[in-house]
Structure 1
């Protein structure tokens, strides 16, 4: 479950959405290359799987929490708790395996913003965006009455429960 301190957060503004999209494109370009080179047997082995990035916004002008999780389970969080502090760590092997299974689930492609024709409906709620290669974006708002896409929501829960996600703002 998403921690209570993140339960009600204003939606992203248009400027933040643009910055998020541009950041996501840059991240996805790097992630796609790492995954592809590993699958083609490059000299530097990269585990097969998907890099996933989670971006969360607390408040209309609050900080953006960014979490990158590699296929190995290693993660790096920037501004983890909204206090400017970065952290690193690793998921345990079971969490890593579970995450990669969810990211490989074909149902996830039906949960993308494009497939759902997603548009932000709420103001004042937590907005979480998952960026998954190759160019998939899934946005989830903690919006009353809005159903969460099931596979993406499970990914969100795993990531928020296994990494620092407390708001100190």
Structure 2
């Protein structure tokens, strides 16, 4: 007999399955190394299209954030040269662009190249979301997906935590609930 899943776990599980499915499909449509990140369009409401990254090249990173189950999805993509684009940064539908300062770009590249990052992926940690209505942040790196939530008792990943802090402090991102 099947047991009914806990509703609070359904959305994070569905999000992970969706990201996994989209990433799996992208395995068959890969561009040669050194090309920009592959992106798949996804609906953003009112007929708009939101570019959600499914893979990134070495030295690139994408951040997906959502506050609770119904909050807007914030998407930040950073290229190897520090150029960034943030879609719906403040939940207002606005797309912002800029470039990280050279010292931040260099620091980001050092963090993304850190071998310890591979041990912080969701797969390596067997990560599962546990909080309701928390800010969920997912970093998409060339080593894999790294998810964290702002909730009591959650262990912080050292390298990915530093990347997350760098990205949120260096861009005009502000998630509003």
User: Taking structure 1 as the reference length, what is the TM-score of the superposition?
Assistant: 0.76
CA distance, structure 1, for counterparts of residue 59 and residue 34 of structure 2: 7
Higher relative contact order (CA 8 A, sep 6+): 1
Q: Which runs of 5+ in 2 are unaligned?
A: 1-7, 37-56
Please tell me whether residue 114 in structure 1 is matched to residue 123 in structure 2: yes
After TM superposition, give the deviation of residue 163 of structure 1 in Å.
0.6
Indicate the SS of the match to 1:35: coil
Superposition misfits of 4+ residues, deviation over 3 angstroms: 10-34
After TM superposition, give the deviation of residue 35 of structure 1 in Å.
2.8
**2:86 counterpart residue number:** 77
Paired residues of 1:31 and 1:133 also in contact (CA < 8 A): no
After TM superposition, give the deviation of residue 121 of structure 1 in Å.
1.2
**1:105 counterpart residue number:** 114
Greater per-residue helix proportion: 1
**How many pairs were matched up?**
149
Q: Which runs of 5+ in 1 are unaligned?
A: 1-9, 38-47
CA distance, structure 2, for counterparts of residue 92 and residue 111 of structure 1: 26
**1:50 counterpart residue number:** 59
Query: Superposition pairs for residues 5-154 of structure 1, below 5 Å?
Result: 12-22=11-21, 33-35=32-34, 49-134=58-143, 136-154=144-162
Greater per-residue strand proportion: 2
User: Taking structure 2 as the reference length, what is the TM-score of the superposition?
Assistant: 0.73
- What is the alpha-carbon root mean square deviation over aligned residues? 2.8
